[in-house]
C-alpha cells in the first residue's frame, strides 16, 4: 500500500500515528497538503510529493494547515480530487466540510433525529436579537459559537440582545445553541471517540468554568462509556460521515445525552491519559482496513 500521512502541525499526534502505521506494516510518507500541486498538460494533473508517477492508495489526514479562504478551498479541492481518483481519504473532504461548518452539522443531526441542544443559525443581527429576546434571559443563556472554530475558542454566553456582537465580528453568522446546565452545578461534559463506526473510548471533561475543553484547562477523567452514550455518538458519526471523530456530549437532565459537537480532526492527548485504548493504533487500523477494502480499480497515473 502507498500511504500518506498528512499532518501540518501537532507533533505528538503525528508521531503516534506514524509509529502506529509503521507497526501495522505500512510505511507512511509524511506530507503537507500545502505541497501538493496541480500541473496540467501531462497525464494526471495532481502531483503528490513522495508519490512519483501516481497517487497514494490512502491518505490519513490529521490536520489541514490554517490559511486564507483560497488556500483552504484549494486543499479541500485536492482531497476531493484524491477521493474521486480512488484514494481512500480519512477523514474525507465531505465529512470535514460537514463537521467544520457547525450549522451543517446541526442540520444533519436534526435530520437524522439525533438529540442536540436547540440550535438557531441566523445571518442578521436584528433577527438574532429578536431570537435572544424570545429564547434567552438571566440564568438561561444561549451559547454563541463561531461557525468555524474548535477547542472552545470564541465561545460567549448571551442572555440579552445587547450581548450580541456586531455582524462583522461573527462573520455575519450567528450560531446560537441553548446552554445546558447540569442540575448539580458542576462544569462537566463528555467526549466519546468513535472510529470506523464504533465508540472505542471516552472521558469526562471537568473544568473550573463552563468551557471544559482540555486545550482550555479542562481536566480529563476516566469514563466507562454507557451504552446509550456510545450508541448516540456512533449515530452522530454516521450522520456526518466521519471515519474517526471525537463526539462531545452533555447530559440532558433526564438520564440521556445530547450531542454538542462532531469533530473531524479531533485531538486525543487528553483522552489518551485516561484510557488504556491506544487511540492512534485504533485510527491506523481502521484507516488501513478501509484502504484494503477499497475495491481494485483503475488508478490515475501521471505520465511524463
Q: How far is the CA of 193 from the CAs of 217, 230, 282, 283, 296, in angstroms?
A: 20, 9, 10, 10, 30
How far is CA 274 from each of CA 24, 115, 200, 202, 268, rounded to the nearest angstrom?
Answer: 24, 27, 13, 9, 10
- Beta strand pairing call for 37-38 and 88-90: unpaired
Residue 9 banded pLDDT, cuts 50, 70, 90: confident
pLDDT confidence of residue 300: 47
Q: Report CA-CA distances (Å) from 171 to 103, 155, 174.
A: 13, 14, 8
Residue 121, helix vs strand vs coil: strand
- For the domain 98-114+183-264, what is the CATH superfamily, name and number? ATP-grasp fold, B domain (3.30.470.20)
Q: Please state, rounded to an integer, the average pLDDT across all residues of the chain.
A: 91
Q: Name the least confident of 48-57, 91-100, 176-185, 211-220.
A: 211-220
Q: Which band of pLDDT confidence, cut at 50, 70 and 90, is reported for residue 183?
A: confident
Residue 297 in this model has a pLDDT that exceeds 70: no
pLDDT over 90 percentage in the chain: 77
**Which CATH architecture does the domain made up of 3-91+288-293 adopt?**
3-Layer(aba) Sandwich (3.40)
Task: For residues 272-282, give the mean pLDDT.
Answer: 97
Q: Tell me if 223 sits within 8 A of 190, measured CB to CB.
A: yes
What is the model's pTM? 0.91
The Cα 288–Cα 159 span in angstroms is 47
CATH of domain 119-178: 3.30.1490.20
How would residue 174 be classed by pLDDT, with cut points 50, 70 and 90? very high
The structural domains of the chain, with segments of one domain joined by +, span 3-91+288-293, 98-114+183-264, 119-178
Find the angle CA(185)-CA(182)-CA(220) to the nearest 5 degrees. Answer: 85
Q: Comparing C-alpha atoms, which of 68, 39, 65 is closest to residue 52? A: 39
- Distance (Å, rounded) from C-alpha 193 to C-alpha 206? 17
| For residues 281-297, average pLDDT | 90
Q: Which of 151-160, 270-279, 284-293 has the lowest mean pLDDT?
A: 151-160
pLDDT in tens, 105-134: 999 999 999 999 999 999 999 999 999 999
Amino acid at each position: 500500500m502507498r500511504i500518506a500521512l498528512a499532518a501540518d502541525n501537532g507533533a505528538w499526534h503525528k508521531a503516534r500515528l506514524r509509529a502506529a502505521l509503521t507497526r501495522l506494516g505500512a510505511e507512511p510518507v509524511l506530507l503537507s497538503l500545502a505541497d501538493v500541486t496541480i500541473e496540467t498538460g501531462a497525464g494526471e494533473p495532481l502531483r503528490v510529493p513522495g508519490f512519483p508517477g501516481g497517487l497514494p492508495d490512502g491518505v490519513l489526514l490529521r490536520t489541514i494547515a490554517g490559511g486564507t479562504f483560497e488556500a483552504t478551498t484549494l486543499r479541500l479541492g485536492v482531497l476531493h480530487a484524491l477521493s474521486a481518483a480512488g484514494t481512500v481519504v480519512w477523514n474525507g473532504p465531505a465529512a470535514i466540510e460537514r463537521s467544520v461548518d457547525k450549522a451543517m452539522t446541526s442540520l444533519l443531526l436534526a435530520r437524522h433525529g439525533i438529540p442536540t441542544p436547540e440550535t438557531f443559525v441566523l445571518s442578521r443581527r436584528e433577527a438574532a436579537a429578536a431570537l435572544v429576546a424570545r429564547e434567552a434571559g438571566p440564568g438561561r443563556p444561549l451559547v454563541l459559537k463561531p461557525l468555524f472554530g474548535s477547542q472552545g475558542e470564541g465561545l460567549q454566553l448571551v442572555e440579552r440582545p445587547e450581548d450580541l456582537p456586531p455582524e462583522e465580528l461573527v462573520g455575519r453568522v450567528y450560531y446560537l445553541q441553548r446552554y445546558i446546565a447540569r442540575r448539580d452545578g458542576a462544569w462537566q461534559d463528555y467526549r466519546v471517540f468513535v472510529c470506523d463506526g464504533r465508540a472505542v473510548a471516552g472521558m469526562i471533561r471537568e473544568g473550573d468554568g463552563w468551557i471544559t475543553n482540555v486545550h482550555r484547562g479542562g481536566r480529563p477523567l476516566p469514563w466507562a462509556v454507557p451504552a446509550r452514550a456510545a450508541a448516540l455518538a456512533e449515530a452522530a458519526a454516521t450522520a456526518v460521515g466521519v471515519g474517526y471523530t471525537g463526539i462531545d456530549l452533555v447530559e440532558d437532565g433526564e438520564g440521556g445525552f445530547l450531542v454538542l459537537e462532531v469533530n473531524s480532526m479531533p485531538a486525543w492527548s487528553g483522552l489518551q491519559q485516561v484510557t488504556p485504548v491506544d487511540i492512534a493504533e485504533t485510527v491506523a487500523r481502521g484507516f488501513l482496513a478501509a484502504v484494503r477494502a477499497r475495491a481494485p480499480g483503475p488508478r490515475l497515473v501521471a505520465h511524463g
